[in-house]
């Protein structure tokens, strides 16, 4: 494992170089392209017209069958009946025309009568004139009428009209107008005009008019009847257009079966295959261009997420390498399952929650959510049920919901037991998602099929948890990742190093536990990693186990050996516990963060007691000889542990610690650290330093609170008791 870790460290260092970082994403893109290549590659059919289909062929996409659409729209147009418009104004016009003819005849009679009366009054002694002749009356009547009317009506009509008196004309007028109106109010198409004329004739011929006037009325009625229903070309075309537009386009839907296995490929099927692009698609680059755009979009989003991370470059590159391994592993599993997906819907077996949980625990929650979306998209392509270039949205929804369920469940619970619970929760969400996907389309499935889907959902969720638990130690060991679970394991009192401290330096062990309590509360107050501070505190003084009796907390019943040593030698022994501790921790392959805490918790502080003692003996003593080698605290946790370590030792040395004395001592130690520049290299603000000091004071006041002094019992009281 050490060799593997060294290889990963080398690769991680290469990722510091921009070229190799870009190359890393190029490799990810190439793997994605290779994995999804066969799922988007246009399928070439080796089939011909009137051949037998060797397999069931489905449409790779949704395309419009324009020829069928055109035929259906033409059929809809043909079913629209012609529109005929009734000209109601024609009825009134023809009625007015007949009325005017009769009125003209009456007017002529009145005029002739007036003329005769005037003539009689002017020539009393002359013989009375008989008036104009019939032919003259006809001529005068025609003069009063239009040329069109006079030409289209026979002369007998005018003769009958001029021979009738006004009463007869009035009766004839009423009969004729009524008959014309009755007939003309009904639709009269071009082919029914003659029948309409006969209906008028039938209404008039049974009247009591004299024969000549009756015949004239019949002729006038027949003349009045004309076509009043006409073909409306614009109205008909509008209805046909609306009918054609109401026809939905005929489409060959994505995944639709074009021809079943063993069926004949007739002309219509062959045309649909050609329309779906399955006969001449060998040179099409569109699917590959689409896949390339998808991959570039996905990788750009991932790269941007890493770029936005607020972490050190070294940590970011470690995360990037881990992410690449998790990503490739998930794609590999997805591809293997997709290759078996042709036999049954095995895509639901994919452990969709595995990658999300691993990335959430090891790297970042936002990145895990983005990855869940990415895998949902990739899964919808890889599990497209053999229909190249399509998306299986059901599978994509399933993967997304499963991963999101596990990620959200692990929001604040990263223990191993919670991972298993998260997997079971994901399995429950899998069941609900599959139920929705099966029930919404009102699908018909057998009990055996329902059982299969239940098993796949449970296997996917539980398998995700098992794989996550199994892979976490690999990533932690290979990359030196200090996860919450690893910290919990290191905090176990049965750990060999903790037992070593307890057995060989019990005073140091107790001191470390006290520092752990102080550091954890202070770190949590400023939003730092409290668990890391606690575990780091347990091990920060492990170097004292090499010479435990040289440290005052372990000198319970022994003389202080420093009383017999020169201050330079004592300082060397005390200072060495930081480097010794780091060496011991490295020997036990402890996480780098724990090693750094042991090495940095004293920073470059000065051993004042031995320095001043040395100054008394030699005024030329150099201060740097009595300082810890450092480095200074690089993280907030290291800085807090260093302050807590000094504070705990100082307060423990007080004979009667009061709240005021504790607060004064804490403020003094923090101020000295600031003035000495020990906090310059960690990411602590002045506000956070004040919060640390206040929290340490509160915690120490709780530990060193005043206790009730119980009186000593006398011997008499003991005997009575």
What are the tens digits of pLDDT across the range 230-250?
888 888 888 988 888 888 888
What does the alpha-carbon distance between residue 427 and residue 419 come to, in Å, rounded to a whole number? 12
Residue 6, pLDDT score: 66
Is residue 59 domain-resident? no
Residue 540, pLDDT score: 94
Q: pLDDT digits over 67-122, tens only?
A: 888 888 888 888 888 888 888 888 889 899 889 988 888 888 888 887 777 776 76
Asked whether the predicted pLDDT for residue 613 surpasses 90, the reply is no
- Same domain for 579 and 621? yes
Structure tokens, 603: 């920073």
Residue 413, pLDDT score: 44
Is residue 258 domain-resident? no
What does the alpha-carbon distance between residue 667 and residue 650 come to, in Å, rounded to a whole number? 12
Structure tokens, 200: 């008028």
DSSP assignment of 78-89 equals HTSPPPEEE-HH
Q: Specify the higher pLDDT residue, 16 or 302.
A: 302
Give the other-Cβ count within 10 Å of 417's Cβ.
10
DSSP classification of residue 289: H
Is residue 461 domain-resident? yes
Residue 4, pLDDT score: 61
Is residue 464 domain-resident? yes
* Angle value at C-alpha 318, between 313 and 319, nearest 5 degrees: 95
Asked whether the predicted pLDDT for residue 441 surpasses 70, the reply is yes
Say if residues 224 and 238 touch (Cβ distance below 8 Å): no
Confidence class for position 284, pLDDT limits 50, 70, 90: low
18-22, 26-30, 335-339: which has the highest mean pLDDT? 26-30
Q: pLDDT digits over 397-407, tens only?
A: 999 999 999 99
- Same domain for 518 and 465? no
pTM above 0.95, yes or no: no
pLDDT > 70 fraction of the chain, expressed in percent and rounded: 89
Domain count, the chain: 3
Confidence class for position 300, pLDDT limits 50, 70, 90: very high
Asked whether the predicted pLDDT for residue 136 surpasses 90, the reply is no
Residue 527's Cα: distance from chain center in Å? Answer: 32
- Same domain for 414 and 307? yes
- Same domain for 532 and 645? yes
Nearest to 431 by CA among 398, 404, 406: 398
Domain boundary among 452, 481, 510: 481
DSSP-derived 3-state class of residue 492: coil
Q: Is the dihedral of CA 218, 219, 221, 222 positive or negative?
A: positive
- Same domain for 681 and 579? yes
Is residue 140 domain-resident? yes
Asked whether the predicted pLDDT for residue 58 surpasses 80, the reply is no
Give the other-Cβ count within 10 Å of 517's Cβ.
18
What does the alpha-carbon distance between residue 536 and residue 532 come to, in Å, rounded to a whole number? 6
Domain boundary among 191, 216, 231: 231
What is the pLDDT averaged over residues 111-134?
A: 70
- Find the domain containing 90 and state its range: 84-231
- Same domain for 381 and 427? yes
Is residue 259 domain-resident? no
- Same domain for 494 and 471? no
Q: pLDDT digits over 176-230, tens only?
A: 999 999 998 998 888 889 999 999 988 888 888 888 888 988 889 898 899 988 8
Residue 259, pLDDT score: 74
Judged by phi (left if over 0) then psi (alpha if -120 to 50, else beta), residue 589 lies in left
Confidence class for position 39, pLDDT limits 50, 70, 90: confident
- Same domain for 425 and 542? no
Q: pLDDT digits over 358-377, tens only?
A: 999 888 889 999 999 999 99
| CATH number, position 550 | 1.10.3210
Is residue 583 domain-resident? yes
What does the alpha-carbon distance between residue 364 and residue 464 come to, in Å, rounded to a whole number? 18
User: Please, what is the average pLDDT of the chain?
Assistant: 84
- Same domain for 689 and 583? yes
What is the pLDDT averaged over residues 477-505?
A: 86
What does the alpha-carbon distance between residue 573 and residue 610 come to, in Å, rounded to a whole number? 11
Q: pLDDT digits over 516-535, tens only?
A: 999 999 999 998 889 999 99
Confidence class for position 721, pLDDT limits 50, 70, 90: very low
- Same domain for 467 and 530? no
Asked whether the predicted pLDDT for residue 394 surpasses 80, the reply is yes
- Same domain for 502 and 433? no
| CATH number, position 369 | 1.10.1760
Is residue 76 domain-resident? no
**Beta bridge partner(s), residue 231:** 84
Confidence class for position 667, pLDDT limits 50, 70, 90: very high
Structure tokens, 55: 């397999």
Of 23-32, 51-60, 569-578, 661-670, the poorest mean pLDDT is in: 51-60
Confidence class for position 720, pLDDT limits 50, 70, 90: very low
Residue 2, pLDDT score: 57
What does the alpha-carbon distance between residue 540 and residue 533 come to, in Å, rounded to a whole number? 10
Residue 113, pLDDT score: 80
Asked whether the predicted pLDDT for residue 139 surpasses 60, the reply is yes
| Phi, psi angle pair for 363, to nearest 5° | -125, -80
- Same domain for 455 and 495? no
Distant-in-sequence, close-in-space partners of 428: CB < 8 Å, separation ≥ 6: 405, 461
Asked whether the predicted pLDDT for residue 282 surpasses 70, the reply is no
Q: pLDDT digits over 418-427, tens only?
A: 888 999 999 9
Residue 382, pLDDT score: 87
Confidence class for position 66, pLDDT limits 50, 70, 90: confident
pLDDT > 90 fraction of the chain, expressed in percent and rounded: 35
Domain boundary among 231, 251, 280: 231
Q: pLDDT digits over 616-656, tens only?
A: 888 888 888 899 998 999 999 999 999 999 999 888 888 88
Structure tokens, 373: 């979306």
């Amino acid at each position: 494992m050490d060799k593997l870790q060294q290889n990963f460290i080398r690769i991680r260092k290469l990722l510091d170089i921009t070229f190799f970082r870009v190359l890393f994403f190029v490799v990810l893109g190439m793997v994605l392209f290779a994995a999804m290549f066969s799922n988007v590659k246009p399928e070439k059919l080796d089939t011909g017209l009137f051949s037998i289909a060797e397999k069931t062929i489905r449409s790779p996409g949704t395309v419009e069958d324009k020829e069928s659409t055109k035929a259906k729209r033409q059929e809809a147009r043909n079913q629209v009946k012609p529109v005929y418009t009734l000209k109601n104004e024609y009825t009134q016009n023809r009625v007015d025309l007949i009325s005017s003819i009769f009125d003209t005849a009456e007017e002529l009679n009145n005029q002739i009568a007036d003329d005769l009366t005037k003539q009689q009054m002017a020539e009393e002694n002359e013989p009375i004139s008989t008036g104009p002749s019939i032919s003259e009356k006809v001529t005068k009547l025609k003069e009063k009428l239009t040329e069109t009317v006079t030409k289209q009506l026979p002369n007998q009509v005018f003769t009958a009209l001029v021979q009738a008196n006004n009463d007869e004309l009035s009766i004839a007028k009423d009969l004729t107008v009524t008959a014309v109106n009755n007939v003309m109010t009904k639709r009269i198409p071009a082919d029914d005009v003659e029948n309409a004329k006969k209906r008028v004739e039938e209404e008039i011929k049974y009247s009591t008019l004299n024969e000549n006037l009756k015949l004239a009325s019949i002729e006038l009625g027949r003349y009045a009847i004309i076509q009043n229903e006409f073909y409306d070309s614009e109205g008909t075309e509008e209805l046909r257009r609306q009918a054609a537009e109401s026809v939905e386009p005929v489409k060959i839907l994505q995944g639709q079966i074009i021809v079943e296995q063993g069926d004949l490929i007739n002309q219509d099927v062959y045309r649909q295959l050609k329309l779906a692009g399955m006969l001449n698609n060998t040179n099409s680059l569109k699917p590959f261009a689409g896949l390339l755009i998808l991959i570039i979009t996905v990788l750009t989003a991932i790269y941007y997420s890493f770029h936005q991370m607020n972490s050190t470059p070294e940590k970011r590159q470690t995360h990037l390498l881990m992410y690449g391994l998790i990503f490739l592993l998930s794609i590999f599993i997805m591809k293997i399952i997709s290759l078996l997906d042709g036999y049954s819907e095995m895509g639901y077996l994919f452990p969709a929650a595995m990658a999300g949980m691993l990335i959430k625990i090891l790297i970042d929650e936002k990145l895990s959510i983005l990855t869940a979306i990415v895998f949902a998209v990739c899964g919808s392509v890889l599990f497209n049920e053999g229909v190249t270039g399509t998306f299986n949205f059901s599978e994509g929804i399933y993967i997304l919901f499963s991963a999101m369920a596990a990620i959200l469940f692990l929001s604040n619970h990263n223990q191993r037991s919670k991972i298993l619970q998260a997997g079971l929760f994901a399995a429950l969400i899998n069941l609900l998602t599959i139920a929705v996907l099966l029930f919404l389309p009102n699908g018909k499935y057998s009990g055996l099929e329902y059982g299969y889907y239940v098993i796949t959902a449970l296997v996917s969720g539980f398998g995700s948890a098992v794989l996550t638990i199994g892979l976490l130690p690999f990533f932690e060991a290979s990359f030196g990742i200090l996860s919450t679970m690893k910290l919990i394991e290191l905090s176990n009192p049965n750990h060999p190093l903790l037992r070593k401290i307890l057995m060989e330096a019990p005073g140091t062990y107790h001191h470390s536990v006290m520092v752990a309590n102080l550091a954890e509360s202070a770190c949590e107050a400023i939003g730092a990693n409290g668990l890391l501070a606690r575990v780091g505190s347990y091990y920060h003084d492990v170097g004292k186990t090499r010479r435990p009796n040289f440290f005052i907390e372990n000198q319970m019943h022994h003389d202080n050996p420093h009383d017999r040593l020169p201050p330079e030698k004592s300082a060397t022994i005390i200072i060495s516990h930081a480097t010794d501790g780091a060496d011991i921790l490295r020997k036990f392959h402890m996480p780098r963060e724990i090693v750094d805490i042991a090495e940095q918790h004293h920073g470059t502080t000065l051993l004042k007691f031995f320095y001043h003692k040395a100054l008394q003996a030699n005024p030329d003593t150099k201060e740097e000889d009595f300082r810890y080698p450092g480095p200074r605290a690089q993280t907030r946790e290291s800085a807090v542990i260093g302050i807590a370590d000094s504070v705990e030792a100082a307060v423990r040395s007080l004979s009667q610690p009061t709240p005021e004395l504790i607060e004064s001592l804490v403020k003094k130690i923090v101020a000295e650290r600031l003035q000495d520049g020990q906090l310059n290299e960690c990411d602590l603000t002045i506000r956070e330093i004040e919060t640390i000091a206040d929290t340490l004071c509160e915690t120490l006041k709780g530990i060193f609170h005043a206790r009730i002094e119980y009186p000593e019992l006398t011997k008499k009281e003991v005997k009575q008791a």
